[in-house]
Amino acid sequence: MKKKSEPSYYAKKIEPTVVGKGISVPSLIDGCFTSFNARNVRNACQLFAGDIMKNNATVGMSVSGALTPAGLGRSCLIPLIKGGYVDWIISTGANLYHDLHSCLGYGMYEGSPAADDCALRENEVVRIYDIYFKSDALFDTDRFIRELFREHTFPGPVSSAEIHNVIGRYLLKKWPDSHEYSVLAAAAKMDLPVHTSSPGDSSIGMNLAGLALEGKGPIIDPNLDVNLTAAWVYNAKKSGGRTAALILGGGSPKNFLLQTEPHIQEVLGLKEAGHDYFIQFTDARADTGGLSGATPSEAVSWGKIDPAMLAHTQVCYGDVSVYLPLFTAYVAGQAKKRKPRRLWKNRRDIIERLEKAYRRSAHRGK
């Protein structure tokens, strides 16, 4: 009796590279990350350095968790920005606030999660799990933000990206080398927009709220951020390109990045299919129903991910602080640097394209 035609179960044999002195990160990942979450990381690295870069996709990156206090801003986020691997960012405000401390001369120090927090409080030490820093860093950073925005005026409400660009440009002016250690300075140097999904949920927002009691400071209009982020995506697609979502952690920044497609399709009534690529590093589980554990296939049901591109997605379960340095080293070693898109510099033309499309849409006014 003839056997049925079956797929090959033995197409790719596991033959790991022997780890030795001097092995490069790309060789380590390609040759040794063969199974379980290690293979997920390998697939994510290969997907990003391969299809995403070769197709010159416009990459939006979301950032949550205490990445800048852990040093990952300087070690990973800035190289991704400067290499042209990322085109726009959604971040928690906290990451952007703590990004400023180094510009003011404050460092972060290795500590202990088992510390006596009452003793730390008495000694004016602030703790983020196993990271210590001086409480003066908070007060001086608060003062820096208030002084900057007492002097800098705006003709009307602005997006959070406008606020962050003003900060970044000021850092570059005051400390010309700040792009080497500040995410906001590096982003401003590359004309890369940095948004936050919750403008009031950080010390930057708290200080702007304090200024409002003086009748000073900017008014942030989240509607501008919603439309701008959708415009980055719409412009890329209508220019014949593809888009990718690189998600570090989860939370509100994840949704703000992915909701760009439902905003284009569902609210604005413009024809679109969803993001083309999706990579997430997360420690959240899907079975609790939380957003951070939501899978790419779940995102398809919302129109966030193009169903035809579902095979070009990858979730890596684990700690971002472990995976991100490996991912960054792999990308830097395997993908060529790209010319920056300078979306912020071209924002008026890009948002105008979205506005014109919406005015032509039959969905308008319904």
3-state SS, 143-186, equals HHHHHHHHHCCCCCCECHHHHHHHHHHHHHHHCCCHHHCCHHHH
Domain 41-360 has CATH 3.40.910.10: yes
Residue 219 has pLDDT above 80, yes or no: yes
The whole-chain average pLDDT of the chain stands at: 96
How many whole angstroms separate alpha carbon 87 and alpha carbon 193? 8
Domain spans of the chain? 41-360
Report the range of poorest mean pLDDT among 1-10, 88-97, 119-128: 1-10
Q: pLDDT per residue over 52-72, tens digit each? A: 999 999 999 999 999 999 999
The DSSP letter of residue 102 is G
Q: Give pLDDT, residue 8.
A: 84
Tell me whether residue 336 is one of the annotated catalytic residues: no
Q: Which of 253, 315, 305 is nearest to 93 (CA)?
A: 253
Phi, psi angle pair for 157, to nearest 5°: -60, 150
Amino acid 165: pLDDT: 98
User: Angle 222-238/251-258 helices, nearest 10 degrees?
Assistant: 50
Asked if the model's pLDDT at residue 245 lies above 90, the reply is yes
Residue 279's contacts (CB-CB under 8 Å, 6 or more residues apart) are: 44, 47, 48, 244, 245, 246, 247, 313, 314, 315, 316
pLDDT score for 97 = 98
Across the range 72-98, mean pLDDT stands at: 98
Angle (deg, nearest 10), helices 160-174 and 222-238: 90
Please measure the distance between the N-terminal and C-terminal CA atoms of the chain and give it in whole angstroms. 63
What pLDDT, on a 0 to 100 scale, did the predictor assign at position 3? Answer: 62
Instruction: Decide if pLDDT at 362 tops 90.
Output: no
pLDDT band, very low/low/confident/very high, at 365 (cuts 50, 70, 90): low
- Kindly tell me if the per-residue pLDDT of 84 is higher than 70: yes
Q: Name the catalytic one among 237, 304, 345, 366.
A: 304
Centre a 10 Å sphere on the Cβ of residue 154 and count the other Cβ atoms it contains.
14
Give the list of residues 6+ apart from residue 304 with CB closer than 8 angstroms, or none: 258, 259, 261, 262, 274, 275
What mean pLDDT is predicted for residues 116-131?
98
State the pLDDT at residue 19: 97
Distance CA 308, CA 314 (A): 15
Q: Quick one: pLDDT band at residue 4, thresholds 50, 70, 90?
A: low
* 118 three-state secondary structure: helix
The C-alpha atoms of residue 301 and residue 294 are separated, in whole angstroms, by 11
The two tokens of residue 236 are: 């890329």
- Residue 2: per-residue pLDDT: 56
Tell me which of 362 and 85 has the higher pLDDT. 85
Average pLDDT over residues 226-253: 97
> Distances in Å between the alpha carbon of 276 and those of 100, 135, 227, 264?
34, 43, 20, 15
